[in-house]
């Protein structure tokens, strides 16, 4: 009985508290101040300008760990703050980015390592930089043509053959069961 009373009380409070119109509480003067502030912030925002936004290693062997540095300059009017840099998958690992603010006109760099183990053929990965630019995120890409390791290719082919064989057996079993079901009717 207490639980039902408590539930009814919570629902009643929710209905009563939601009747006010939140937009009525917004002051027009504050809205205009915020709009002016936001426009000023966008004009004075930091700008992250990269020497290159795509790094191509060309042809590398499967299993190689390739590394590059992305260099950039803050060409904006305020300090650049990088809060996080993340690769699009676990094989792409960014590191060594500046944790301190980069003042206008100053440069910085970060390292990106790509582990090509288990990644044969054409590869393209994205690195996302979370920062205080107007966009809030900047991206760079890495590319490589990974030559497959012959040993790994053999293992992958064997696994693929086993999967195909298992699928064929499952299909044959389903067909057999369907025939038996038709005969039973």
pLDDT, tens only, 36-95: 666 666 778 999 999 999 999 999 999 999 999 999 999 999 999 999 999 999 999 999
The pLDDT assigned to 95 comes to 96
Residue at 43 is within a domain: no
Residue at 72 is within a domain: yes
CATH number at residue 64: 2.60.40.10
Q: How far is CA 90 from CA 52, 64, 138, 164, in A?
A: 22, 15, 19, 28
Residue at 165 is within a domain: no
The pLDDT assigned to 15 comes to 66
Task: Report how far residue 126's alpha carbon sits from residue 158's, in angstroms, rounded to the nearest whole number.
Answer: 31
Residue at 166 is within a domain: no
Residue 25 has pLDDT above 90, yes or no: no
The tally of domains found in the chain comes to 1
Q: What angle do CA 45, 46, 52 make, to 5 degrees?
A: 140
Q: How far apart are the first and last CA of the chain?
A: 55
Residue at 122 is within a domain: yes
Residue at 101 is within a domain: yes
Residue at 14 is within a domain: no
Residue at 85 is within a domain: yes
- The whole domain housing 127 covers 48-147
The pLDDT assigned to 21 comes to 63
């Amino acid at each position: 009985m207490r639980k039902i009373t408590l539930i009814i009380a919570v629902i009643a409070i929710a209905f009563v508290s939601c009747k006010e119109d939140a937009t009525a509480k917004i002051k027009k003067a504050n809205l205009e101040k915020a709009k002016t502030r936001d426009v000023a912030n966008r004009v004075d925002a930091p700008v992250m300008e990269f020497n290159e936004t795509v790094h191509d290693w060309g042809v590398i062997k499967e299993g190689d760990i390739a590394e590059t540095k992305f260099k950039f300059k803050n060409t904006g009017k305020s300090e650049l703050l990088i809060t996080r840099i993340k690769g699009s998958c676990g094989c792409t690992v960014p590191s060594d980015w500046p944790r301190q603010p980069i003042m206008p006109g100053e440069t910085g760099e970060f390292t990106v390592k790509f582990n090509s183990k288990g990644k044969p053929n054409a590869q393209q990965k994205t690195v996302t930089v979370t920062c205080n630019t107007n966009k809030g995120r900047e991206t760079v890409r890495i590319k490589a043509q990974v030559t497959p390791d012959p040993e790994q290719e053999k293992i992958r082919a064997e696994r693929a053959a086993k999967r195909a064989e298992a699928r064929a057996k499952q299909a044959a079993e389903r067909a057999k069961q369907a025939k038996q079901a038709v005969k039973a009717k």
